Structure 1
């Protein structure tokens, strides 16, 4: 407990009451006795994550978690051994991220028993929505009612406060007016929307309540915990209020608690920011998050395929360091959010970032904007399915499939643990109607399905959806059988023409080492491997003479073993 006491001291100094410290240790001690069995000790090449909503598939008169569990076992279990269930708690907006009650399952989804039933078939990742909660929550109702003990749970500022330095991820107002029981108006800190009120971690009572949430999720079986919007947790007016030192200390405290009660559980931080800020959440490699999102990967892969050039992707990838076994990257191409552009800043010139956004907007994507500190706006996120992001509207299905598999071949080859969004494995296109109905750009990539409809679509031979589901499922199976793709194995990039990206994934056994060659262009390209020997393609099984030039067709890739 010395680490926990030290971190509490660094965060709160003398403002953390001794009684609160005793309650904190009592919570931790109680949780240690109730958490069984132990988690998987580490990650390996067989770990592939599915990102999905708890109500992704539906049928009448059945909890959606029950329906999803059935669908998962039939269509997805062979590919994915860990499921990231996006927030499944009662919520008032933002598709679950405005949490009303952290400790309950949204009734239409089922209850904790349905979560436990799904956990019998897969490991699970829960969202720990640690920065904010719903303005319709009981916690905020207590605050508005000015009940005893709730006054400092949220953050109020006078409307005249100079908050110009605060980093803004949205164009919505930072402060939202609310009327309290005494009839007076307070302006409450709302980083993401008027319905999402930020918690005040400077109040020790808030920390205790959020630790209870953290421990509850571990006791409910969470193997991974995703810290949503974690970079904004601590606020100090006059600063950027993002990535502050006390935010990092809070993450270290969460990590210390997790290590104490649930060894093997993994902490994943969600910080959609430039790469150098993102990897700071690794801490010293052993005291903060074990995983961080690889946020530059989705837009850089997209940029490479759109431009037919791997130059920017290759240059960025050459500098990656996953942490030597104690940390690794959480790699993905698509998620419930859009394709973030902030991580590109510092990697690509601003003109190229804007051009990429404009190109996609012409093909039906939606662009979300943020307010910069100088009052101007810049593109923050592209809202689109990854399938449609890769292609033009007039492209053939064959071209769509080739580009899509190339992108996922890159995803599955990069060092780290790969994650695939459910819309990707299901071959989903832009949901324009859903976006119109909700009025939300992100709904374009959040379509939900009746179970009978999605089963029928996946059984339709020759359809793009069926072809993508089959081909991507097969590619994941091949990936899981390659020891070279263990997340801890190093990647060596080899100089090549810009139309190619060539990497070697070096396994402990040289016989398992892979050469991965990707043609990101629309042209046929020839390439000779640096090591002249005979190879076979782990994907297609063909024999390749490494002493001669190898031809790769448009958007073709190979994973080659000696």
Structure 2
């Protein structure tokens, strides 16, 4: 009965489509629309079914999908068909990513286009260009306050530049990733300007209130994202004489998805960028999409419905396009952004493994693997057709996103342990080599997050200051170890630009008034390409790190067990400094034992304790245990595997 209703409404909609749509070739569009419409209709009805204009809004939704399908190039339509056929294509171990700023990695987009060979040289074949859409000069939140979704910021280039980059990347089988900020706009966006001028239509695009009554109700339970620099969640607009919800910064107005027109506008934007040749759309701040009084307005059920609806609509028009969920939330909440389906990712195919990232940094500070073992053990399994982005560093701060329960399980007191980590990375201990900066300090509870480049946080900056070669070598080995973990854990490894050549903190932001209060700019550097040329000079730090990652990428791409098919098994070890897991080859070829030493001293592992239901490692000898990264047999003493400081192995088990 219910499905019959959806089909009846679909027929009504198709009858109302305008000739400029129906006169076009729409075979694949109609097939996909029919296959997805029951789900699409059901989701749309859950959110907007009580509105009097429900059918009209549904018609507008289908029109947007159809128009964008018509505008999609024949090349992209062929790509859609190929990816539909090979629907697990993005789970392959061949993908290795890099995230960068166009005006940090290069001067601008035209200059970036000239540097695409650099990605091929390193082995990177997925490139995430940080926000490049038009935004105000001094109130942009690093590009996340968009004032025009259809225009590139003129400071970095234009649409033609993106077209050139997309085509060059396709020629090299490199995936292009761009950000779309779906939760909010700049207060200088056209919609906000019209709302400010009194246009009721566009005032309904945001959460706008005449007085503080409703905002005060929200504030009782809403957390503060930036308590130090942007306290509160509402901003008074003098020109409009009203209060606007601004969860992040006072110049970022939250969009009101309880209005279907907002959803349809944003879908049109997503499909527009899919049609520019973007392979993966990174959806920013998805946890915040639906606002409710009485809660945190994060991870609401309706936010997940919105993402499912975005995905269903994209499956109709541009099914070869993937979504990344930018949801830096608790471990049990993160996996929900893949979707609740047992197999298919019905929301976003890719999500950031923020928990693993935070656990790696805990291991850096403690020099042991106790918490990382505990946290990974409790990390929920992902869906079959979904994958993680595994990263050490990103453009954002480092939050300590593991649970208090996990901290307690390994014998630490949560509050004091978190304070220890903040003190360690901000250099407040005499024996710490970290050169980190605190971000987002909350004076109410002393909570904070951490800024700084990988190399400065790991100790390379201080080692160079001391001119201590031993410490420099240890820091480099530590950097390589962390990359070995994200390259083998299961998912797409994501290198942060500059890490591959040992880029240090950039303190120049302190002299820029628009950046001085945001310590995250310390790890958003401008690449010195003269310094980068040292990657070709044997013996230099740049050469040592670059060639190590270059080899790691090459080896990773050859190991089928590193494909992401829920084929990882954690191994419990008696040595607290060692972290180990098994990557099972689903084709039954070579299984891989990944093991890393997180201590600055030598450690060993008794193979006798390594029993597994598929094989017994202690029955094997040096002749058949090979470290695939080095191509050599690991260091052994009798049945003990020896690991030097910050050493890792990728051991092939036949």
TM-score (norm 2): 0.80
Aligned residues: 551
Most deviating of 277-286 and 354-363 = 277-286
Name 2:495's counterpart in structure 1: 420
Distance of 2:334 and 2:446 partners within structure 1: 20
Residue 135 (1) aligns with residue 187 (2):
yes
* 1:67-89 Cα distance to aligned partner (Å, 9 max, x none): 11222313555421111111111
Q: Is the 8 A contact 2:488 2:594 kept in 1?
A: yes
Indicate which of 10, 34, 51 corresponds to 2:71.
34
Shift of 1:544: 4.2
RMSD, matched Cα: 2.1
Structure 1 residues 203 and 85 mapped into 2: Cα distance closer, same or farther (>3 Å)? same
Name 1:266's counterpart in structure 2: 322
Structure 1 residues 489 and 21 mapped into 2: Cα distance closer, same or farther (>3 Å)? closer
Distance of 1:558 and 1:213 partners within structure 2: 45
Q: Is the 8 A contact 2:97 2:125 kept in 1?
A: yes
* 1:277-311 Cα distance to aligned partner (Å, 9 max, x none): 11121222332222221111122111112212111
**Unpaired segments of 5 or more residues in structure 1?**
none
Name 1:527's counterpart in structure 2: 605
Q: Is the 8 A contact 1:201 1:207 kept in 2?
A: yes
Q: Is the 8 A contact 1:511 1:561 kept in 2?
A: no
Indicate which of 367, 372, 378 corresponds to 2:438.
367
Shift of 1:470: 2.3
Structure 1 residues 519 and 72 mapped into 2: Cα distance closer, same or farther (>3 Å)? same
Name 2:153's counterpart in structure 1: 106
Most deviating of 100-109 and 385-394 = 385-394
* 1:375-429 Cα distance to aligned partner (Å, 9 max, x none): 9234342111122222275432111101101111111111111111113223211
Name 2:364's counterpart in structure 1: 305
Q: Is the 8 A contact 1:519 1:555 kept in 2?
A: yes
Name 2:126's counterpart in structure 1: 82
Indicate which of 121, 143, 161 corresponds to 1:96.
143
Shift of 1:255: 1.1
**Unpaired segments of 5 or more residues in structure 2?**
1-36, 408-413, 428-433, 464-470, 611-616
Name 2:274's counterpart in structure 1: 218
Q: SS where residue 240 of structure 1 aligns? A: coil
Name 1:25's counterpart in structure 2: 62
Distance of 1:238 and 1:77 partners within structure 2: 52
Q: SS where residue 79 of structure 2 aligns? A: coil
Distance of 1:454 and 1:209 partners within structure 2: 44
Distance of 1:520 and 1:141 partners within structure 2: 53
Shift of 1:445: 0.4
Q: Which has the higher helix share?
A: 2
Shift of 1:558: 0.6
Distance of 1:101 and 1:77 partners within structure 2: 35
Residue 293 (1) aligns with residue 355 (2):
no
* 1:502-535 Cα distance to aligned partner (Å, 9 max, x none): 2110002333211111111112112244313221
Residue 119 (1) aligns with residue 175 (2):
no
Shift of 1:33: 3.4
Name 2:48's counterpart in structure 1: 12
Q: Is the 8 A contact 1:227 1:270 kept in 2?
A: yes
Distance of 2:406 and 2:400 partners within structure 1: 11
Structure 1 residues 141 and 346 mapped into 2: Cα distance closer, same or farther (>3 Å)? farther
Distance of 1:460 and 1:177 partners within structure 2: 56
Q: Is the 8 A contact 1:368 1:379 kept in 2?
A: no
Q: SS where residue 149 of structure 2 aligns? A: coil
Indicate which of 574, 577, 580 corresponds to 1:502.
580
Q: Is the 8 A contact 1:493 1:502 kept in 2?
A: yes
Distance of 2:258 and 2:45 partners within structure 1: 13
Q: Is the 8 A contact 1:218 1:262 kept in 2?
A: yes
Distance of 1:426 and 1:338 partners within structure 2: 20
Name 2:397's counterpart in structure 1: 338
Name 1:401's counterpart in structure 2: 476
Most deviating of 538-547 and 419-428 = 538-547
Distance of 2:377 and 2:633 partners within structure 1: 29
Name 2:102's counterpart in structure 1: 54
Shift of 1:459: 4.4
Higher RCO by CA contacts (8 Å cutoff, separation 6 or greater): 1
Name 1:377's counterpart in structure 2: 445
Distance of 2:200 and 2:246 partners within structure 1: 23
Shift of 1:444: 0.5
Most deviating of 184-193 and 154-163 = 154-163
Distance of 2:246 and 2:119 partners within structure 1: 40
Structure 1 residues 227 and 522 mapped into 2: Cα distance closer, same or farther (>3 Å)? same
Shift of 1:489: 4.7
Structure 1 residues 518 and 500 mapped into 2: Cα distance closer, same or farther (>3 Å)? same
Most deviating of 358-367 and 461-470 = 461-470
Structure 1 residues 318 and 352 mapped into 2: Cα distance closer, same or farther (>3 Å)? same
Instruction: Map 1:371-520 to 2 at 5 A.
Output: 376-391=444-459, 394-395=462-463, 396-437=471-512, 438-439=515-516, 440-449=518-527, 451=529, 453-459=530-536, 461-496=538-573, 497-520=575-598
TM-score (norm 1): 0.93
Structure 1 consecutive aligned stretches of length 4 or more whose deviation exceeds 6 Å: none
Q: Is the 8 A contact 2:332 2:380 kept in 1?
A: no
Structure 1 residues 145 and 244 mapped into 2: Cα distance closer, same or farther (>3 Å)? same
